[in-house]
Amino acid sequence: MPALHKSKPSRVLVALLLLFSLGTLVTTVTTMWRLKFEVIAHQLNQASVQAQAFDDALVQPLTLIDLSGHDIDDDLDRDNPERLATKLAQVLQHAPFVRSLSLATPDGRIFASSNAANIDHMLDLQSPQPEASAASDGLRIGMPWQGRDFAEGRPTSPEQPAAADQSGFVPVLRKLPTRRAPVILAAALNPDYFINLYARQISPVQGRVDVVRLDNVLLFSTRDDFAPGSRYDATLVASGEHAQESGTRTGDGKDGVPVLTAYRVSRNFPLVTVVHINQNFALAKWLAETRTVASVVTVGLTLLSVLAAILLRRLRRSERIEADTEAQTRLAAQVFESAGEGILITDARSVVLRINSAFANMSGFSTQDLVGKKTSVLSSGRHDEAFYAAMWKCIKAQGIWRGEIVNRRKDGKLQTEWLTISAVRDELGRVSHYVGIYADISERRRVEEELREHRDHLRELVDARTAELLTAKDTAEAANRAKSEFLSNMSHELRTPMHAILAFAQLGSHKSSLDTSGAGKLRTYFANIEQAGRRLMGLLDDLLDLSKLEAGRMQLDIKFHPLRPLVQEVSAELAMLIDERKQTLTLTAEDDAAGAYFDRARTAQVLRNLLGNACKFAPKASSIEIRYGQIEAGMVYVSIKDVGPGIAPEDIERIFEKFEQGTATKAFGKGSGLGLAICREIVLGQGGQIWAGNNPEGGAHFTFTLHANNPSQAQLSATNESRQPTA
């Protein structure tokens, strides 16, 4: 019986624990299940509010389009399409949701538009809803079109919907009765405006928003893989539930993911705005809270079980606790004595109670010297009262202080130490002891001082060397400027006698042509003099251009020009040379309308030089290609490709230097080696780049780039700084 009575409370306790655990689990599951349905109801209500807001955001622009028809109708003059286009453009300024406004004849032909490219294109008058007989003067919503506007687009159909990754628009039509004949107002509604507006409210992870016509045609969606113009297979639209103004429902989406759906039917237009919320996303917070509650309940029940187990156990192990405490005390004493840093323990009044052997060796004081005395006996006199006041203020506020301090050893020598003082508190939170840990850093400070002296000396050497290099740089730049000035002056000085030589050569050639008695050789001599003079004049012109470019005195008239006329003009200039060598020139435009900002005359000089080189160095009866277009955002390129001898790898960078030629082209014996250097300076002066390379199939290509947008002064300066000065 005693044993039975002893075990009965245990069984009662276990039974009560089981009943409490079961009740807690049932209550938790029921509560979380109820909260789930409350979250779903809240999300459906929020989706309904969003559907109404999105419908209002769509209806307001459509209403504005409807009202703008009255303004255009009052000012309609079909005989003045330019005035109509201006009027349409003015209306379009206040309608960022519309790409263009157009006016069309009753058969759908556009005769006036804010986008001139739309004129003479036909509208699709068969697909808009509602049908014309149902609402002849109201707005009609057409099938989505693929493309940015009527000029470049096509109408879609459920059988041929728009590509999901292509731009599109939704045509909105309104019949305008006029005195002469009805006119159709056509607005190209920009779906991207509404998609961006909706996506700011509902992210792709949270769900999507669909805008559907009442005949089950998808107009646009915030989900980018849904094709506009496709058949919308949502049950709420197909089943006719849209007869109600709004509604909600739950179910699986198109991809099998459960969704919460709310829709709203427009009162004035044949449109349905459908909001789909990902149910998993909507319940994510509830699921996280459920897991948290489950974890808390599990932990609580586990703790309760552990507590019950502890209460059931009556055995105490005080002996083991005592043994463990004694072992820890011995361990602490061993650590105290064997520690490498000096340790000093005081009471709350800073009276020394104990030191370890490391502190005795560091300071020279023995235990008998310090125990019972205040720590001020260690003071070196190097620190003022403010230092100690700040130290004790930190200890009182934070319970610890760390810093560098200078103390005095027993032999009177000063010693730099790193000191950490910690306050030890009793059960009532009052400071009972202070523990100081000392590390001798005198040697480290000495080494740091030596390193600082070496660093200062090294800085002086670096400063001196830097000054020498700056002086050398200034000297090189001065020499480069003097060279450019010399070339410029010499070119000017030599051009004057060269003009005289050419004039006398032309005069002699003319005089000899009048004398028919054996003056053939004389004419040949004069012709050779004139040819050599013109070649030398060209060299002088090149030297003059190069010196101006390097000195920054060449004035470039940078304006926007299309590339095609420039390429055609230079090709025509060299057509005779190309025909003479029986070569074929091909012009390839990746973007026929490409243009850039450049000096037309100087850029023509670059293109003329590169194309002339290709003609000279390419074999006869070979092909040459000029290709141009956009290479990256804000930049266009022009590239000349031939099938000539190519460029040696070691010459690819060198050929753009002055008086340099590639080893593969030296055999031709033509040129002064200045043409490519001038080309580089002209291109760099316009903010572009120029480079050369070899084609995999043979031959070489030269490519230069120009700014498609007006280059800033900073861009031109940054490019000019890339030039390397030459002595």
The segment with the largest mean pLDDT, out of 117-131, 299-313, 560-574, is 560-574
State yes or no: cis peptide before 130, omega within 30 of 0.
Answer: yes
User: In this model, does residue 192 exceed pLDDT 60?
Assistant: yes
Q: What percent of the chain has pLDDT over 70?
A: 79
**Quick one: what percent of the chain has pLDDT higher than 90?**
20
How many residues make up the chain in this entry? Answer: 727
Residue 508 scores a pLDDT above 70: no
Q: Specify the pLDDT at position 401.
A: 93
- Each residue's pLDDT tens digit, 517-544: 555 666 666 666 755 665 565 555 555 5
State how far the Cα of 122 lies from the Cα of 120, in Å rounded to an integer.
6
Residue 95 has pLDDT above 70, yes or no: yes
Say what the pLDDT of residue 241 is.
47
Cβ atoms of residues 224 and 164 within 8 Å: yes
DSSP secondary structure code for residue 554 in this structure:
P
> What average pLDDT does the segment 361-371 reach?
87
> What whole-number distance in Å separates Cα of residue 99 and Cα of residue 86?
15
Question: What pLDDT shows up at residue 400?
Answer: 92
Take residue 65 and report the two structure tokens written for it. 């389009």
The confidence band for 588, taking pLDDT boundaries of 50, 70 and 90, is very high
Rounded (5°) CA angle 576-579-581: 110
Q: Is the per-residue pLDDT at 682 higher than 80?
A: yes
Give the C-alpha separation, 133 to 174, whole Å.
Answer: 13
Q: Is the pLDDT score of 355 beyond 80?
A: yes
Band (1; pLDDT cuts 50, 70, 90): very low
CB 198 within 8 A of CB 58: no
Alpha-carbon distance 370 to 132, whole Å?
A: 109
Average pLDDT, the chain: 81
Mean of pLDDT values over 268-285: 88
Residue 106's pLDDT band, with cuts at 50, 70 and 90, is: confident
Is the predicted pLDDT of residue 483 greater than 70, yes or no?
Answer: no
Query: Whose structure tokens read 């005080």?
Result: 318
Q: Tens digits of per-residue pLDDT, 42-62?
A: 988 998 898 889 888 888 888
Residue 491 predicted with pLDDT over 60: no
| pLDDT for the residue numbered 242 | 44
| Residue carrying structure tokens 């010297």 | 369
Average pLDDT over residues 84-103: 86
- pLDDT at res. 694: 92
With a cut of 70, say whether residue 288 has pLDDT above it.
yes
pLDDT at 598: 94
- Token code pair at residue 538: 């060209």
- Say whether pLDDT at 659 is over 70: no
404 has a pLDDT exceeding 60: yes
The most distant pair of C-alpha atoms in the chain lies apart, rounded to whole Å, by: 161
Q: Is the pLDDT of residue 329 over 60?
A: yes
| CB-CB contact of 249 with 236 (8 Å) | yes
pLDDT classification of 171: cutoffs 50, 70, 90: very high
Output the pLDDT for position 5.
Answer: 44
Strands (E), 411-541: 414-425, 431-440
Asked if residue 125 lies in contact with residue 191, where contact means CB atoms within 8 angstroms, the answer is no
Residue 37 has pLDDT above 50, yes or no: yes
pLDDT of residue 704: 95
CATH node for 339-440: 3.30.450.20
pLDDT tens profile 249-260:
888 877 778 988
Same fold, 37-284 and 556-721: no
What DSSP string describes 647-698? --GGGTTGGGSTT---TTTGGG----S-HHHHHHHHHHHTT--EEEEE-TTS
- pLDDT for 348 equals 85
What is the C-alpha to C-alpha distance for residues 61 and 57, in angstroms, rounded to an integer? Answer: 7
Mean pLDDT on 123-135: 76
The whole-number pLDDT of residue 636 equals 95
When pLDDT is cut at 50, 70 and 90, the band that residue 714 belongs to is low
Please name every residue paired with 705 in a beta bridge, in sequence order, or none if there are none. 637
**pLDDT of res. 11:** 75
Please state, in angstroms and rounded to a whole number, the distance separating the CA atoms of residues 445 and 432.
34
pLDDT at 328: 81
pLDDT of residue 3: 44
Instruction: Give the residue extent of every domain in the chain.
Output: 37-284, 339-440, 446-529, 556-721
Whether 237 shows a pLDDT value over 60: the answer reads: no
CATH architecture classification, 37-284 = 2-Layer Sandwich (3.30)
Top-level class of domain 556-721 = alpha beta
How far apart (Å, rounded) are the C-alpha atoms in residues 358 and 262?
78
